[in-house]
Amino acid sequence: MSPPGTTPSLGQPMDRVDGLLKVTGQARYAGEYQELGLLYASVVSSTIASGRIVSIDTSAAMQVPGVVAVLDHTNRPHIASYDEDYTDADSAEGSPFRPFYNDRVLYSGQPLALVVADTLELARYAGSLVRIEYQVDGHETNLTAVKETAHTAPAETPKPRGDFQAGFASAAVTMDAHYTTPNEHHNPMEPHASTVLYRDDDCLEIHDKTQGPQNCQDYLHKVFGLGKDKIRIFAAFVGGAFGSGLRPQYQLPLAVMAALHLKRSVRVTLTRQQMFTFGYRPNTLQRLRLGASADGKLVAVGHDVIGQTSRFEDFTEHVVEWSGMLYQCDNVQLTYKLAPLDVYTPLDMRAPGAASGMIGLECAMDELACAAGIDPVQLRVVNFAERNGNEDKPYSSKELRACYEQGAERFGWSKRNPEPRSMREGRQLVGWGMAGGVWEAMQMKASAKASIDSDGKLTVSSATTDIGTGTYTVMTQIAAEAAGVMPQNVTFVLGDSSLPTAPLQGGSFTVSSVGTAVQQACHALRAKLLDAVRMANPQYAVVDIKDVGFGDGYLHIDDQRFSYADIVRDSSHDVLDVQIDCEPDEKREGYATATHSAVFVEVRVDEDLGSVQVNRVVSAVAAGRVVNPKMARSQILGGVVWGISQALQEESQTDHNLGRVMNHSLAEYHIPVNADIGDIDVVFVEENDSIVNDLGSKGVGEIGIVGVAAAIANAIFHATGKRVREFPITLDKVL
């Protein structure tokens, strides 16, 4: 029951509550916290891909005035855990990378020394004077060269179902093609940095670029043997991450190492070039085999993938699973193998696995549509899956048909001439392509605390982060509606390891997980407010909460209303507060949960130059309840831009002779600029889901990128008649 005049917050396009701080420069990031006497450290990186350190000569560096110390594997402080295995919340299977562990060089760009000085400029200059002599071993960084030796990944791939070989052999229409996707590096605007503020008795206050402050706290606790009460991690603002902050990166243990060694506060900031010396989206080699009946019904789906990993860890992601769940098929065979290389371990990157694997699947579906003479949208509708075949479970909700329908209508798909090279404007060939998208709708355990003071101000907290997604804002909206207060009277606190437990921010599950915890905490706070009213007003001692209204900062019973501020003041407490621990509801267990999308793209291809321009995109998304359509649209826009980048430009290019990324700067690592982006239209398809979580929200952070690159590739084929299966699709490949 809501009283008249209550303004619901959910579903409203509210502006960012942190927007003013960001645009006025008041938001401070990990590398911006100052302290008197703060030292600055610069990382010296390896120049070889494999071998041993014979000697490190730091004498010239130490003679530079203002240099305080140079640390390396020979003089670092003793770290007991380096003799044991330790993990973090996003660790891969194997032995994690230990900076300064021993004399082994495992990959090019590995941190080998840390120069600590009074200023960053001095530290970097002194770092250039460190001389390292190596014993160089042979290395291999080319996935294609070692694909035959790949081993089955330790991650559990869905078991085969039916008889793929027989289904494929008997199919009326078949396609068998290979696709490759490159390595990509995250390159968020804010580089990775850690500012370790040293306090007495080895207590550390650390500002870190991370997607999980409690994960970093747990990691440092395990590595350095410090009590968790001595480590507090802050991440109030994060300038983009895309997965790069899921694991603690090496600047964090190096900064802590230096701070503990010197008993001083230390900052380590990685250069843009060093942002290419840790995790990335891994290269994949994919083979897709699809078989269908004459009317387009799939009778066989085979998806085989080889991905790369490091020699010390097996990094796995869900690359092939989507091919077993997006479409209805009884004969499915999925394989996923890994090839170890002399590289750093890959890392989750926006829509990990799906962004790569769906390129193969959705390009193959387009090729099958052409072979069968069926419209690409119709082929997908014909093969619509009511259940997730991998789990054999029905979906909690799935408005994918509506995505196809509404996206196609908005785009004008019915006007498409299916014949390749049939549409043009002058020297520009025009192509229309489409693809589907899917991402799992997950929920994790999370906790939240809600408190209200005698001014009626609500404070809600949880140890999550905001990596630019709008967490501050949507949690404010969820709390405002759940507690019955105006959004301007809500403060949401995050980015602090001492707050109630929260999962890593990733996987599009923050709203589902933390948001549900916030909602439940605010509902519990309402019950506490009612209890206070019952105590003070005996006539309402037995009133049922279902008969009470909460809104605009007031509790309503019959024709009486009590302001929250008055209730707190009359309760003889400074604040009323409550903390709850929230777990996914058991009712989820009988269902598969996922977000879906349909992406429609128009490209213009210059017939003489082979250059491709994405002229317009329509992305129709079914993601359950959209808490803030403005933030959600922003997320989809960002995902589409990245999909354009993935299709046409983005690639970390390795010189395999050196085993080193060559284009390790934003000048040479090509990503789109404003001039590359045409019109992007986002359609949120209505989808009601009471099973996925109490909010009915599925998350939108990942789904925006999924399917975009495939839709562009399919549009390029429609424009030119040429299939390019090696990504990115650069003009030399089109020509």
DSSP letter string over 142-203? Answer: -HHHHGGG-EE-SS-PPPPBS-HHHHHHH-SEEEEEEEEE--B----SSPPEEEEEEEGGGE
In the block, residue with structure tokens 């929200």: 697
| 3: pLDDT strictly greater than 60 | no
144 belongs to a structural domain: no
My answer on whether 651 and 616 are in the same domain is yes
Tens digit of pLDDT for each residue in 480-533? 999 999 999 999 999 999 999 999 999 999 999 999 999 999 999 999 999 999
299 belongs to a structural domain: no
Q: Which of 557, 583, 609 is the last residue of a domain?
A: 583
Q: What is d(CA 476, CA 459) in angstroms, rounded to the nearest whole number?
A: 9
Q: What is d(CA 458, CA 454) in angstroms, rounded to the nearest whole number?
A: 10
How far, CA to CA in Å, does 365 sit from each of 375, 376, 436, 678, 707? 11, 7, 10, 25, 12
Residue 562 backbone class (left: φ over 0; alpha: ψ -120 to 50; beta: rest)? beta
My answer on whether 543 and 657 are in the same domain is no
**pLDDT score recorded for residue 6:** 56
What percent of the chain is predicted at pLDDT more than 70? 99
263 belongs to a structural domain: yes
| 2: pLDDT strictly greater than 70 | no
For 122, the domain range is 30-138+188-271
Q: Give the HSE-up count for residue 197: Cα atoms under 13 Å, Cβ half-sphere.
A: 14
My answer on whether 211 and 88 are in the same domain is yes
My answer on whether 465 and 529 are in the same domain is yes
Helix (H, G, I), strand (E, B) or coil at 724: coil
My answer on whether 435 and 450 are in the same domain is no
| Paired tokens of 108 | 């090019």
My answer on whether 655 and 681 are in the same domain is yes
Q: Return the sign of the alpha-carbon dihedral for residues 466, 472, 474, 479.
A: positive
> What's the chain's length in residues?
735
CB–CB of 600/408 below 8 Å?
A: yes
Tens digit of pLDDT for each residue in 348-358? 999 999 999 99
Q: What is d(CA 511, CA 9) in angstroms, rounded to the nearest whole number?
A: 15
My answer on whether 377 and 417 are in the same domain is yes
Q: Give the HSE-up count for residue 342: Cα atoms under 13 Å, Cβ half-sphere.
A: 27
| 82: pLDDT strictly greater than 90 | no
Tens digit of pLDDT for each residue in 371-400? 999 999 999 999 999 999 999 999 999 999
CB–CB of 692/395 below 8 Å?
A: no
Tens digit of pLDDT for each residue in 616-660? 999 999 999 999 999 999 999 999 999 999 999 999 999 999 999
Q: Please enumerate in sequence order all residues whose Cβ is within 8 A of that of 119, keeping only pairs 6 or more positions apart, or say none.
A: 40, 66
Q: What is d(CA 453, CA 525) in angstroms, rounded to the nearest whole number?
A: 12
Average pLDDT, integer, range 216-224: 97
My answer on whether 433 and 448 are in the same domain is no
**pLDDT score recorded for residue 7:** 59
- Given pLDDT bands bounded at 50, 70 and 90, which one contains residue 4? very low
My answer on whether 666 and 578 are in the same domain is no
**pLDDT score recorded for residue 565:** 97
My answer on whether 437 and 449 are in the same domain is no
Tens digit of pLDDT for each residue in 123-172? 999 999 999 999 999 999 999 999 999 999 988 899 999 999 999 999 99
110 belongs to a structural domain: yes
Q: What is d(CA 406, CA 413) in angstroms, rounded to the nearest whole number?
A: 10
Average pLDDT, integer, range 174-188: 98
Give the residue numbers annotated as catalytic, written as ranges: 702
Tens digit of pLDDT for each residue in 713-727? 999 999 999 999 999
**pLDDT score recorded for residue 54:** 98
Q: Which of 209, 237, 271 is the last residue of a domain?
A: 271
306 belongs to a structural domain: no
My answer on whether 570 and 645 are in the same domain is no
Tens digit of pLDDT for each residue in 272-292? 999 999 999 999 999 999 999
Total domains in the chain come to 3
Helix (H, G, I), strand (E, B) or coil at 596: strand
| 1: pLDDT strictly greater than 70 | no
Q: What is d(CA 405, CA 383) in angstroms, rounded to the nearest whole number?
A: 15
> Pairing mode, if any, of strands 203-208 and 231-234?
parallel
Here the CATH number for the domain that contains residue 481 is 3.30.365.10
Neighbours of 576 (CB within 10 A): 19
**pLDDT score recorded for residue 48:** 98
Tens digit of pLDDT for each residue in 556-578? 999 999 999 999 999 989 999 99
Q: What is d(CA 697, CA 193) in angstroms, rounded to the nearest whole number?
A: 33
Report the chain's C-alpha Rg in angstroms: 27
Q: What is d(CA 288, CA 275) in angstroms, rounded to the nearest whole number?
A: 33
Q: Which of 249, 271, 293 is the last residue of a domain?
A: 271
Tens digit of pLDDT for each residue in 241-274? 999 999 999 999 999 999 999 999 999 999 999 9
Average pLDDT, integer, range 81-103: 89
CB–CB of 536/478 below 8 Å?
A: no
| Paired tokens of 403 | 């995505």
Q: What is d(CA 598, CA 605) in angstroms, rounded to the nearest whole number?
A: 23
Higher local confidence (pLDDT), 270 or 82: 270
Neighbours of 578 (CB within 10 A): 19
678 belongs to a structural domain: yes
Q: What is d(CA 610, CA 427) in angstroms, rounded to the nearest whole number?
A: 11
534 belongs to a structural domain: yes
My answer on whether 715 and 630 are in the same domain is yes
542 belongs to a structural domain: yes
Which pTM was predicted?
0.97
In the block, residue with structure tokens 């409550």: 578
